[in-house]
Amino acid sequence: MTLKDAQNGFIISEATKMFLESSIDKVTISAIAKRVGVGEATLYRRFSTKQTLVMECALYLGKEVYGRFQVPSEEGTGYERLHRFYDSYLEIFIKDPSYYAFLFQLDNMLPEAPADEMHAYESGIDAFWDLYNAAYGAGLEDGTIRNVGDERLFYYSTTHALQNLCKKLTCQGNLIAQDASLDKAGEVRCLIDIIMYSLHA
């Protein structure tokens, strides 16, 4: 790793912390430059726009979160591995809801992201599919899950539903009076239970 790579890594790490502590909209390039001890011009030379820096932070966060979803193949049946995979959404919701707030804000930026930045972001997302696919295959082999037919459709439908629920409850959790009386973690857990019931052999 070069000195420049290390410096960029430090900037991305600190900017990520700032976005999670506050929000993408509220954190300015000026504030990030001050926190990492460089001038704004230097920051713009390294990351041409704020959006570019935000996308780098999204990639960094994705790698951090990826570790929580990994379930070693020797630990449990395919069904148990899939359960742990889905449970990771709830674990993050409880322990690090700011991650879902970041994703909620990021969604508004993605339509404007350049193709090369989107490609890198999408490649990171594909890594989660690989984890899921391995556990799903193990479940079919050991007989603990049923064949859902279109596995990729099932994966995207269920993970999008879970992620969007977590984002909504994090950022828009009290839009109506009934929201305040509900167990938000319980809602996420309920959806996971429904998914797992539909997978069980």
Each of the 201 residues of the chain gets a pLDDT tens digit; together they read 787 778 899 999 999 999 999 999 999 999 999 999 999 999 999 998 999 999 999 999 988 888 888 766 678 999 999 999 999 999 999 999 999 999 999 988 888 888 888 888 888 888 899 999 999 999 999 999 999 999 999 999 999 999 999 999 998 765 555 656 578 999 999 999 999 999 999
Provide the 8-state DSSP code for 183.
Answer: -
Say what the pTM is.
Answer: 0.88
Which pLDDT score is estimated for 149? 95
Which pLDDT score is estimated for 180? 62
8/56 Cα distance (integer angstroms): 10
Which pLDDT score is estimated for 5? 77
Which pLDDT score is estimated for 70? 75
Largest CA distance in the chain: 59
39/125 Cα distance (integer angstroms): 33
Cα dihedral 18, 21, 27, 33, rounded to 10, equals -20
Q: What are phi and psi of 144, to 5 degrees?
A: -90, -15
Which pLDDT score is estimated for 174? 59
